[in-house]
Homo-oligomer: A and B are copies of this chain.
Amino acid sequence: MARSSTTSDVFNAIAEAHRRDILDTLMAGEKPVGAIVTDLSMSQPQVSKHLRVLTEVGLVSCRADGRRRLYRLEPARLRPMHDWLAKYEQAWNNRLDRVEDYLKELQQQGEQQ
C-alpha cells in the first residue's frame, strides 16, 4: 500500500515544495497560469497539474477570464493545519523552562530577550 492520495487532504497537498511555491506566488493576488509559469520557471503542464491538486483540496479557486484562467488563493482552507499545529504550539511554549530548548531557541533565533 502506497502513500495515501495527495488529492485528499491539505497536509499532503502542501507537502510538495512546488505547490507551496505556487501558493506563495498567489499571495500577491489572482494570477493566470502563464504568470505562475514564468514566476516559478516551471513547465506549463507541471503548473496546471499542481493547480489541479490544489484546487481539489480547495486551497485555490479558479475563475475564467476569456481564454485564461485566473487562480486565486483560498487561505481559509489552511485553517485545519493551523488548528492541528496549535496543539503543539502550546507544547513548545510549555517547555521553555527546559534548558535544552532555551538554548536551541537562542541558537536558532540569535536573540530574544
Q: Is A35 an interface residue (CB 8 A)?
A: no
Q: B-facing mask of A8-51, CB < 8 A → 1, else 0?
A: 01011011110010011001000000000000000000000000
Copies in the complex: 2
Chain B's closest residue to A8 (CB) is B17
Q: How many residues of A contact B (CB 8 A)?
A: 32
Decide if A27 touches B75 in the complex (CB within 8 Å): no
Could you list 21 examples of A-B contacts with CB < 8 Å? Answer: A3-B3, A3-B15, A3-B16, A12-B15, A20-B84, A23-B88, A24-B87, A27-B87, A27-B91, A75-B88, A75-B89, A75-B91, A75-B92, A75-B95, A76-B92, A76-B105, A78-B85, A78-B88, A79-B92, A81-B81, A82-B89
